[in-house]
Structure 1
Amino acid sequence: MDRSQLLSAGLPVISAALSVAFFCSWLAQKRQGYILDWALSYAFGALGAGIGLVRISIAEAAWFSFAANALLVAMAYFAVRGSMRRLGRGAEPVLLPIYALTLLAGLWFGFVQPSILARGSFSSLGAAIMFAYGAYIMLRADSADTVDRLTAIAFGLTAFALVGRPLATYLFEGALQHETEVTGSWWGVSFRILAMLSWVSMAVLFLQRITSDLLHDLRIQTHTDPLTGVLNRRGFFARASAAAPRGAFAVLLCDIDEFKRVNDGFGHKAGDTVVRNLAAVLTAASAPAPHSVGRLGGDEFVLLLAGADLIRTRDMAERLRAAFAATAHHGVPPAHPVTVSIGGAVAFPGEALDAALARADAALYRAKQNRRNCVEIDILPLATGRSSLHRVRGG
């Protein structure tokens, strides 16, 4: 086995190993379908490179060459499709026609009007168009990050090399006349070098993409309450601590009235429904502005209002109280209304988030002590430094 054959033998082994790695990664996170596309991409690459290796020892290898080219173009198809699926873009309306035309050109120049260079050139062109299209879409995507842009660059360079390779072959060697000339020719050697470089570089970027997405999902899970989908205590303080010092803000603490009676009387499933409904009310009310909603634990929620003054804070709290009081809860009879008490605090300039929350908690305690289903806002006048109370009674 000469050096060219040795290089040919390495491609299917490397591709098969990468395919297994991607497939195992997909098994661990099946909802990420794009990983399966990449596993299929390298599986087709392994098959195509393997058939190309077999072709070395066969004199009449037109069918082997056609099959190898079809599989290698399929590798490009699934590599690009996976990247586009990850961005939420459909690829089939563009990629499938390109793949079909590439196969037809391979059949034509393989068996109707045989030409080794034309057959290989059209296969390279089909794959190049797919990679170029994928690079274009990824560079224009609003959600693209550094890994996506590097992948787009790798796609673009691969497309450029695939287009330039047939031209270089024709200039260096002219048109190949027989299948046996392919293996040791510039055409064959350049393919193996290009494949080794591009396949490995794209695999590294794909693996980095998977790792980055996995870490992102873990961060979301770490900072998100699984029952309601809003921020948990850790997530809220991570976001609010960064946002609150930037300007005026207010905080609202919301606590479901007599929540234990809901759980004891109607079951924990009904209690979970009530908790989710309060989270939905808070999320809907805060959606138009950069507010932060968090579940501090049990039935207690917090809402951060950036740039809020007393009037906005009071109005928001009263809307929340009224909206939740009017909410129907599955599993809880209408004859047993569920309400919420809210305590709020408008921060003064330079006040820490913890201090504002402490005042809001004191206001919430007073709301609970009074008669529940009401709003109380704690105010700290700059002149006196002593707390005063703004009370809004519920109906």
Structure 2
Amino acid sequence: MKAAVWHGKRDVRIDEVPDPAVKEPTDAVIRVTSSGLCGSDLHLYEVLAPFMTPGDILGHEPLGVVEETGAEVTSLRPGDRVVVPFQIACGRCWMCRNGLQTQCETTAVREQGSGAALFGYTKLYGSVPGAQAEYLRVPQAQYGPLKVPADVPDDRYLYLSDVLPTAWQAVEYAAVPPGGSVAVLGLGPIGDMACRIALHRGAGKVFGIDLVPERLARVMARGAEALDLTQHDDIAQTVRDRTDGRGPDAVIDAVGMEAHGGGGASVGKMMQALPGLLPDRIAEKLAGKAGVDRLTALYLAIDMVRRGGTVSLSGVYGGMADPMPMLRLFDKQIQLRMGQANVHRWVPDILPLLGDGDPLGVDDFATHHMPLAEAPEAYRMFQHKEAAKIVLKP
């Protein structure tokens, strides 16, 4: 089969690789019909290269059709249409039963000290072959895949794999009071969808902050107040001025480790780049013990949020030695919540919104649909912010 394969920093190629097969009784194999390109994939393209191995298959946002199942997968049969969550969880352990599927005790990558295995996402999360491919082996298929109707376009349910539950959890963790205010930093797919969900769930003021005009226009069209980062000398003060001088009740950081900015961001960028200049084994060890993120977005969130407010992190961070402004956090009495989204935990809340009314605008959420063969160009476009959301079609 053909798949999008990592060969090095900013080097994604379409390779011919072996077809996947059922190996365990809890496996399934699906034929992928759509596979999203995620902001997290760009971290592999650039910053997390020390944890990648040439030949790794990328991608973790698939929807497709079941081709084959193992003996213990009794809820699926060939021909079923399914969306597959980005994390691999068993559904039976204590963590899964308590809605923490990203901490699944069955698939946890203990040798790396990590939580549940993820599709297509570095050795930190199990080096599981990913979903930007013609076919995908799905471990723990007795629980993970979600059956979806066969008679609607892929995009209606595709985002249940990652975008919708990640944005939903970001808003849930933000704990915006009814009629309250929230600022969303970064308007890539997750930030964009978080704005939509916050408005749908009754936030009174939603500020979408970015520096890409097309992204700002998207959230403004859905009812958010769009703020161009480049047009304000002190964006935190601008938001405070629009929230009775206090700051928003919550800030969602949907940027993560690759934030733009000056000063500390430049130092962080240098520290992120350093492992990539070293031999692989040394680079992995350094990044795993002394990695430092570009923390501009997180620092901005801490500065902007009102005292007693909440900062919700959905943007991915990977540093093991990040300097945190503990005095500021403690003095402002800030609540901080974060983590990979627990997909199954939020599906019951999201599914009713995927009916004919489409209140979150999933049907036209993607700006580009591209053949899998064009994945290298898709990565380039996405990194250069020439596309808001790309769906690959094997």
Which structure would you say has the larger Rg? Answer: 1
TM-score bin, normalised by smaller chain? under 0.3
> Could you tell me the TM-score, scaled by structure 1's length?
0.20
Structure number having the greater helix percentage: 1
- Structure having the higher strand fraction is 2
- Larger RCO, structure (CA 8 Å, separation 6 or more): 2
